[in-house]
Chains A and B, each alone.
Chain A
Amino acid sequence: MIRIQARTEPSSLMKVASPLLAIALTLIFGSILFSAIGKSPSQALHVLLIAPLADSYNIGEMFVKMGPLLLCAVGLSLCYRANMWNIGAEGQLLAGALGGSAIALYFVDSESAFALPITLLAGIASGMIWAAVPTFLKLRFNSNLILTTIMFNYIALYLLIWAVHGPLRDPQGFGFPESAMFADSTLLPTLFESSRIHLGIVFAIISAFIAWFILSKSHLGFQVRVFGADEPAARYAGFSSKKLSWFVMLFAGALAGLAGVSETTGPIGQLVPNVSPGYGYSAIIVAYLGRLHPLGAIIAAMFMAVLYMGGDLAQIEMGIPVAVVSMFQGVLLFFLLACDFFINNRLAFSNQATN
């Protein structure tokens, strides 16, 4: 007989093993799916996992995709730790891209050394504003944060589409809904020759370490952790939930805004309607996969970036729709949540029937 038994203490081994198990199960699911639609599963797995890391150009592209995912996921990890269900990283990213671009276009004829820093700050500020409004509405009017942040994702998207069709449209752009190309003074420098890797990945990794430092070494981080683990205890200790909410939300908004402006001033070089292939949503999965730990998010973001690369390659080489990426992301989160069951429960093997 196999039966399920509650563990007396959560298993710390399963906490680490669960994401790895979930990734393995997702890959098995992927192989089955690919064979079901008549593609070779081994070729598919090769395209999804090996090919993205096969040469230096592709590895570079992986880091380009990893940057925005990590920036968003680090902020979300802190939010979720504090029980703030911010689903708005996508909107905050788009707001950052939009706000930053408005400033970058102001500097389009400038060679000022301040152009890039001001542009980046504008992106960060825009992301923070986009996070601040739902936070204010939650704290002041008790409105549901999940729903307001999601609505703000859509509002940001339509605002961005409006801007590239209207005020920010390139007058010389032959009617395409795109902004003018940014001046070199507002472009993020690339790190290596013959690769698109830019400063964004450096920002992301630094932000993960800053968040880790705040979370594990500072009093503020201590409060966030207590809130996540035991809310009544945190209230009893007199920690201000308002202050913590503002802190995690503004931090997350700033990072997502930086992610957005880093995309437009980095690999894209202008404002386009499809700035993000859903990075803000994928970052939710990255945050969970990284166990809501800023450093865990680094590894999880790397995996997710490989999956994005693999999706692109699968479309080019095997004619598989790029939508498989978000499908795999959903499956990955399903498996992760299912595996997490065994953190608090275990299978017991016994000869006795259950009573």
Chain B
Amino acid sequence: MDSDLIVQILFAAVKTGTPLLFIALGEVICEKSGVLNLGQEGMMLMGAVVGFLAAYGTGSAGLGVLSAMLMGCVMSLIFAVLVLHLGANQVATGLALTIFGTGLSAFIGSGVVGQTIQGFQPIAVPLLSDIPYLGKILFSHDILVYASFTMTFVLMFVVNKTRIGLTLKAVGENPHAANAIGIKVLRVRYLAVMFGGVMAGISGAYMSLVYTPMWVENMTAGRGWIALALVVFASWRVGRIMLGAYLFGLASIMHLVLQGLGWSISPNLLAMLPYVATVVVMVIISADKFKEKLLAPRSLGKPFDPRQMA
């Protein structure tokens, strides 16, 4: 392989990893507050279809992204009310959200299947894009990719260095202790779940406005689920989410790499690769039982009822 091809592959890996980065950043914040939202795939699909419809209707990709963010937030609120106020099982509620989002997105998007729009165009960052190799790989993307870089670094700072991050972790580790020192546990969890929804919305919009600028039923193809695996892969650390997203991006475009090496394998078998990679990664990461127990937020998946004190 020549260096041009390698640069092209890494560029594509960043682009393919970007929707995973957005949605996994949202999920990690949600999980850090102790809430497991399996509805990612449904929220992402709703973000994709609403983002596309808004951009198609108004001609503005920016309005598309805003609408997708709002839609993701609304979807996450349905989940939050059921799980946080009614104490519903988080696994079942998340699945319901995904099934609902899959159906509703196909329903409202049925009129625009196959239409195309003008999505975001790449913008080369002045100076930075002139760096040999790295400039092409990292700094000649569209604006949402730069937003995802910024978001990663902001979240790393907020989670690790600020009081907000401390509050979030306290709620996820021990909600009863957090409650005892006056933190409004449910309010923190609401905000964390909504943040997850907004990020899933952007992630969906990236799929339908940039990655393949059109709407097709089920176009996210399990990326919402892969994002959940990514959080485990990153052992709930924001910084590692970025690395993981690009590695998974690379796994998804492995066919380019293999073609570059002169291999020819059925595209349908190659389509399996990201899912197989996810399973392999899950196994490697989780094999150390002690480590996972140490890293996962301790109250993850458990409901918190302020009326009952433990």
User: What residue of chain B has the Cβ atom nearest to residue A147's Cβ?
Assistant: B229
Pairwise interchain contact B225-A151, C-beta atoms closer than 8 A: yes
Pairwise interchain contact A341-B86, C-beta atoms closer than 8 A: yes
* B155: min CB distance to chain A, Å: 22
Pairwise interchain contact B103-A325, C-beta atoms closer than 8 A: yes
Given A321-B106, A321-B107, also A142-B292 (CB < 8 A): yes
Main secondary structure of the interface of B (DSSP, over half): helix
Given contacts A334-B100, A337-B88, 5 further A-B contacts (CB under 8 A): A6-B307, A85-B91, A158-B268, A284-B99, A327-B100
A236-257: CB near B (< 8 Å → 1, else 0) gives 0000000000000000000000
CA distance A321 to B110 in the complex (A): 7
CA distance A243 to B102 in the complex (A): 35
Pairwise interchain contact B103-A326, C-beta atoms closer than 8 A: yes
Given A142-B292, A147-B232, A150-B222, also A284-B272 (CB < 8 A): no
Q: What residues of chain A lie closer than 8 Å to B286, measured between beta carbons?
A: 141-144
B287 at the interface (CB under 8 A from A): yes
Pairwise interchain contact A337-B86, C-beta atoms closer than 8 A: yes
Pairwise interchain contact A323-B106, C-beta atoms closer than 8 A: yes
Pairwise interchain contact A150-B99, C-beta atoms closer than 8 A: no
CA distance A272 to B98 in the complex (A): 25
CA distance A281 to B276 in the complex (A): 20
Pairwise interchain contact B88-A165, C-beta atoms closer than 8 A: no
Candidates A6, A137, A142, A162; contact of B266 at CB < 8 Å: A162
A/B interface sample: 5 pairs, CB < 8 A = A148-B282, A154-B272, A337-B88, A341-B86, A341-B88
Q: Which of A162, A284, A285, A341 has the most CB of B within 10 A?
A: A162
B281-295: CB near A (< 8 Å → 1, else 0) gives 011001101001000
B244-279: CB near A (< 8 Å → 1, else 0) gives 000000000000000000000010110110011011
User: What residue of chain B has the Cβ atom nearest to residue A324's Cβ?
Assistant: B107
Pairwise interchain contact B282-A284, C-beta atoms closer than 8 A: no
A155 at the interface (CB under 8 A from B): yes
Pairwise interchain contact B82-A327, C-beta atoms closer than 8 A: no
User: What residue of chain A has the Cβ atom nearest to residue B276's Cβ?
Assistant: A155
CA distance A148 to B92 in the complex (A): 17
Q: What residues of chain B lie closer than 8 Å to A329, measured between beta carbons?
A: 99-100, 103
Pairwise interchain contact A155-B275, C-beta atoms closer than 8 A: yes
User: What residue of chain B has the Cβ atom nearest to residue A282's Cβ?
Assistant: B99
B10 at the interface (CB under 8 A from A): no
CA distance A142 to B222 in the complex (A): 22
Given A142-B292, A285-B99, A330-B103, also A151-B217 (CB < 8 A): no
Q: What residues of chain A lie closer than 8 Å to B6, measured between beta carbons?
A: none
B101 at the interface (CB under 8 A from A): yes
Pairwise interchain contact B272-A155, C-beta atoms closer than 8 A: yes
CA distance A158 to B98 in the complex (A): 21
Q: Which of B222, B286, B287 has the most CB of A within 10 A?
A: B286
Size of chain A's interface in residues, with CB distance under 8 A?
44
Pairwise interchain contact A148-B279, C-beta atoms closer than 8 A: yes
A159 at the interface (CB under 8 A from B): yes
CA distance A141 to B99 in the complex (A): 29
CA distance A158 to B287 in the complex (A): 27
CA distance A326 to B41 in the complex (A): 14
* A69: min CB distance to chain B, Å: 14
Pairwise interchain contact B272-A158, C-beta atoms closer than 8 A: yes
Interface residues of A in 278-337 (CB under 8 A from B): 281-282, 284-285, 288, 321, 323-331, 333-334, 337
Q: What residues of chain A lie closer than 8 Å to B103, measured between beta carbons?
A: 323-330
CA distance A40 to B272 in the complex (A): 44
Main secondary structure of the interface of A (DSSP, over half): helix
Q: What residues of chain A lie closer than 8 Å to B82, measured between beta carbons?
A: 334, 337-338
Candidates B104, B287, B292; contact of A327 at CB < 8 Å: B104
* A337: min CB distance to chain B, Å: 4
CA distance A27 to B58 in the complex (A): 34
B97 at the interface (CB under 8 A from A): yes
A54 at the interface (CB under 8 A from B): no
Q: What residues of chain B lie closer than 8 Å to A23, measured between beta carbons?
A: none
A161 at the interface (CB under 8 A from B): yes
Q: What residues of chain B lie closer than 8 Å to A328, measured between beta carbons?
A: 103
B5 at the interface (CB under 8 A from A): no
B96 at the interface (CB under 8 A from A): yes
Given A144-B286, A326-B103, also A158-B269 (CB < 8 A): yes
Pairwise interchain contact B91-A341, C-beta atoms closer than 8 A: no
CA distance A162 to B266 in the complex (A): 7
Given A141-B287, A158-B272, A281-B99, also A146-B91 (CB < 8 A): yes
Pairwise interchain contact A337-B93, C-beta atoms closer than 8 A: yes
* B193: min CB distance to chain A, Å: 15
CA distance A281 to B222 in the complex (A): 14
User: What residue of chain A has the Cβ atom nearest to residue B273's Cβ?
Assistant: A158
Q: What residues of chain B lie closer than 8 Å to A340, measured between beta carbons?
A: 88
A166 at the interface (CB under 8 A from B): yes
Given A142-B292, A150-B222, A165-B266, also A338-B279 (CB < 8 A): no
A144-183: CB near B (< 8 Å → 1, else 0) gives 1011101110110011011001100000000000000000
A87 at the interface (CB under 8 A from B): yes
B78 at the interface (CB under 8 A from A): yes
Pairwise interchain contact B279-A146, C-beta atoms closer than 8 A: no
Given A284-B95, A321-B107, A338-B88, also A143-B268 (CB < 8 A): no
Q: What residues of chain A lie closer than 8 Å to B87, measured between beta carbons?
A: 341, 344
CA distance A330 to B79 in the complex (A): 12
* B94: min CB distance to chain A, Å: 9
Q: What residues of chain B lie closer than 8 Å to A323, measured between beta carbons?
A: 102-107, 110, 217
Top 10 nearest A-B pairs by Cβ distance?
Answer: A330-B100, A327-B103, A326-B103, A323-B106, A333-B96, A162-B268, A337-B88, A330-B99, A341-B86, A321-B110
A92-129: CB near B (< 8 Å → 1, else 0) gives 00000000000000000000000000000000000000
Q: What residues of chain B lie closer than 8 Å to A282, measured between beta carbons?
A: 99
User: What residue of chain B has the Cβ atom nearest to residue A340's Cβ?
Assistant: B88
CA distance A288 to B105 in the complex (A): 24
User: What residue of chain B has the Cβ atom nearest to residue A6's Cβ?
Assistant: B307
